[in-house]
Amino acid sequence: IRVLAHALTEFYRSGDKSLLDAYSETCLRRVWRAQRFSWWMTFMLHRFDRSDPFQLKVQQAELDYVTTSRAAATTIAENYVGAVLG
């Protein structure tokens, strides 16, 4: 909503519709970032019936990474609260 509000404000203030024209592309980028984060968390935190030993090891490595890395913890925190959706 912030993106749309800014685009509408700019349009009505100056007549510039460039932000309105870019609205879909801007928001789709955010949607796909959120979708990627959701997929990553689901993959990392859930076991699937068809997982093979390799997939389980990758999953375990991901969990190990996010529980031991400050960078990974920051990434999760930022994505979880939407900070990187900008």
- d(CA 37, CA 76) in angstroms, rounded, equals 8
| Confidence (pLDDT) at 16 | 96
pLDDT in tens, 6-40: 999 999 999 999 999 999 998 998 889 899 999 99
| Confidence (pLDDT) at 1 | 83
> Confidence band (pLDDT; 50, 70, 90) for 80?
confident
Average pLDDT of the chain to the nearest whole number: 91
- pTM value is 0.70
pLDDT in tens, 52-79: 999 999 999 999 999 999 999 999 999 8
By CB atoms closer than 10 A (0-12, 13-18, 19+), residue 3 is middle
CB-based contacts of 73, cutoff 8 Å, min separation 6: 66
